[in-house]
Structure formats: C-alpha cells, structure tokens
Chains A and B, each alone.
Chain A
C-alpha cells in the first residue's frame, strides 16, 4: 500500500513561504528602494542648477549684477522649486576674498561697494582669490512620502541637503567711467 502523495510531499510547502517572501521582497526592499532612488536623481538635478547658476553669476560685469535678485523670486530658487520634490528653505550668495599673504583668513562680502581698500586687487595683501559662493539649504522628498508617526528622512519625511558651489570671479578690471573696480560696484 502506498501512501497518498500529499501536497507537502510534492514540495507544496513552498507556496505558503513564497507569498510571504514575495511580499517581503516587494514591500520592504524593492518599493522602498524605488522610493529612495528618486532622491539622488533630484539631488543631481539640483546640484547641476546650482553649479550652472553660480558659474553664470561669477561672469557678471559687476558685483551688484551678480548679487541682484529678481523682484520677488530669485532665478535659482525658482528653478529649484520648479523641480518636483525640492523645497528651498534658505539661500546665501556672497563674494569670498582670500589673501595669499594671510593664510586661513578670508572676507565675506554680501553687499556691493563694501570691499575695503586692503582687499581690492591692488591692495597690500595681494594676490587675492575672489570666489562667488552659493549655498542653498533645501529638502528633497522621496517619490512617495509615506505617512508614519516616525520621521525617517527619505521615507516618511524629506531629506535635508545643502547645495554648495563656488566659482572664481572673472572681472577684476576697473570701470573707466568711475575708476572703481567692477567687483566693488
């Protein structure tokens, strides 16, 4: 007499385990990974926008042209906010001056016309490096922000990042009309 082949003898126990493992695979691995994978893409786009903006601003004729903000909405903040999933919290654009003679010391300028004589290109502490520095704090959200009481950056709340880039100031000449350096106008 032969025993009936039971489902378990045919290897059918795999069916019950299969559903659970599949659920675990999709629910805990694949979907969260897909959700998170949007963040590097958005980061790359945002970084590219910041890099391009600071490079363009550093080529402006005067510092006031570089620091100017369009009435109501900065172009870089507007561009970042247009990207879905990125929310800008704050931004800072400044001219950083570093002297070759004073290692480790630098001057930060946020208003045109406020550079001291000692820090101009013909100053006594030269040569100088003039860099336009842009720093933007923002939040990058994943593809789907899962509702949950626990705040997990990247899954249940946006990921806080800082975009930071700098470019060398190009125009270190003088304005023949006023005699002043363009970077101090």
Chain B
C-alpha cells in the first residue's frame, strides 16, 4: 500500500497582513486622537485666556476706585473754577476785604486738585504693578505640561498683554455734567469736552479738560469708564475686541515692557500661546494661540 506523506509547511502570511492592518488602524486612530487633542487644547487655552482677561479687567476698577477718582477729579475741577471766579470777584472794591479768604480758598482748591491728580497717579501705578504680578503668576516657570498618550501640550504662556479702552466716537467717562456755573458749561461745550446724550451729558475721557487761564497748568484727565445709566451699572464682561484702543503694552512677544499711563485703562487684551507636540513617530511640534479682550465693570452711581 502506498503511503502518502503529507508535508504541511505552515507557511502563510495572513498573520503579517493582520499585524500590518492593525498597525495601520492604530496609526489612523492615533492621528485622529492627535487631531482631537488639538481641538481640546485650543478650547482649553481659550478658556484660560478668557479667565485671565476677566481677572485682569476686574483689577482695573476694583471697588469702583477708578470711577470714584473720576468723579473726584471732575468735582475738584469745578471747585478750582468756582474758587477762581470767587477770587476774581473780590477784585471789586466792594469785596476787597474778602480777597485774602478767597485767595486762600483758591489755593486750597488748587492744592486739592493737584492732590487728587497725584492720587490718581498712585492708583494707576498700583494697578499696573498688580497686573504685572498677574502676568507673572499666569505662566509660572515650572509650568507642568499635559501629556496624553502620544501628544503633549506645554503650559500656556502670555505672549501679549495690552491695556487700553474701547473707543469709537463715544469714548466717555462716567462723570455726569452737573448743573453748575453756566460759564464753565459754555467753556466745556466750546472745547468739545462734553458728550451729549439722551437725558445725561457726560465728560469725555482721555482728554485733558483744561480750565481757562491762569488755571490751565492743572491737569484734569478722566479715565474712560462706562457710566451708570438709569441705575444700570455696566458689568465686567468679555468683548470681541472691536474698537480696542491700546494705550499701554505690558508685555509684547513674551517680553515685559516698562511704562505707565496717565489714567486707568478700562479694557485689557491678552494673547496666550501653548506648544503642542507629537512625541512618538513624527516628532511634530506646533503651537496654538488664543486671544481675548475684556472690559472692566462700569462706575457705580455718584453719591449726590
């Protein structure tokens, strides 16, 4: 009887094909995961940027200090004007005996205006130092990175930090023009210091509201700040950044810059970046960027 020898050599390549297929599948899944991580990282960076912008904007008018300083400065301006009018009136022979008192009142009102201006400068300086500290704390040197599978993202860094205000044709302060000396009102109108509104007239901001001579040496610059309207105080909010006017840059391209400004800004614009890298196969590296603009809360009502 013939014997049949079956020589089965287990040669085949299905196993290798399956391994290759799985490797391709894992590569595609890894790529998809990397893309998802990019979206996630961008969203995370945007949220972080918005939080920082709101925190910074809150510092610009904490406890309504900027609003109160605006009112104080505007009223001290009126006081200087009224004192000058009074002093001029005592030049009349009928009131000569009141001249020394009038001169004293005028000097005190001028000193008061200078004091308020100095306080404003101190307040601005304090606010700016707080903001510089906020920038440093926002991106600590030992910032931890986030690593998930084959992708990682470094801690966010502040690239640009700008201060300013939202402009347009209606850049106003929160200070209401009160019924005072008609001469001063006429003077302010002629110099375009007043923004007329429906029911309320406001003093313009970022403009030196100089008085007529000899008091034109005094500075009365009001900070741009939203005024309360019909009892509604403007809220602390994020804004699109349209119309943002930059007055002071605290950081540009990751470098801190010195400087100060004459009055409190009312808006802040921040740009943050974070590096993202793929750590296994292609060693790809890129960065995501997010920008946010926030406006500080408006002034509260003036105590009348």
Binding site for B on A (CB under 8 A): 1-3, 5, 9-11, 14, 18, 21-22, 25, 30, 34, 37, 40-41, 44, 48, 51, 55-56, 59-61, 121-122, 170-179, 181
Contact = CB atoms under 8 A, between A and B. Distances in A.
Given A9-B6, A174-B229, A37 B32 contact: yes
A176 B239 contact: no
Contacts of B195: 176-177
A20 B282 CA distance: 35
Given A10-B8, A11-B8, A61 B239 contact: yes
Contacts of A37: 28, 32
B8 A173 contact: no
Contact of A174 (B8, B9, B12, B230): B230
Contacts of A171: 235, 237, 239
Contacts of A173: 226, 229, 232-235, 237, 298
B223 to A, nearest CB: 15
Nearest to A44: B39
A5 B197 contact: no
B217 interface: no
23 contacts: A1-B2, A2-B4, A3-B2, A3-B4, A9-B6, A9-B7, A10-B8, A11-B10, A18-B14, A21-B14, A48-B39, A55-B46, A60-B240, A122-B230, A171-B237, A173-B234, A174-B230, A175-B229, A176-B170, A176-B172, A176-B195, A179-B198, A179-B199
Interface residues of B, number: 49
Given A41-B35, A48-B39, A174 B198 contact: no
B239 A170 contact: yes
8 closest residue pairs by CB, A with B: A173-B234, A174-B229, A170-B237, A3-B4, A59-B240, A1-B2, A174-B232, A177-B197
Given A171-B237, A176-B226, 7 more contacts: A1-B2, A61-B166, A171-B239, A173-B229, A174-B229, A176-B172, A176-B202
Contacts of A11: 8-12
Nearest to B170: A177
Given A173-B298, A177-B197, A44 B35 contact: yes
Contacts of B235: 170-173
B3 interface: yes
A181 B231 CA distance: 12
B239 A59 contact: yes
Given A176-B227, A179-B198, A179-B199, A22 B17 contact: yes
Nearest to B196: A177
A37 B231 CA distance: 55
Contacts of B232: 121-122, 173-174, 181
Nearest to A47: B39
B238 interface: yes
Contacts of A174: 229-230, 232, 234
Contacts of A34: 28
Given A44-B35, A60-B240, A179-B199, A30 B229 contact: no
Nearest to B5: A2
Interface string B217-229: 0000000001101
Contacts of B238: 59, 170
B27 interface: no
B233 to A, nearest CB: 8
B36 interface: yes
B244 to A, nearest CB: 12
B124 to A, nearest CB: 24
A16 to B, nearest CB: 13
B242 interface: yes
Contacts of A59: 237-241, 293
B200 interface: yes
Interface string B166-187: 1000101000000000000000
Interface in B1-34: 2-12, 14, 17, 21, 28, 32
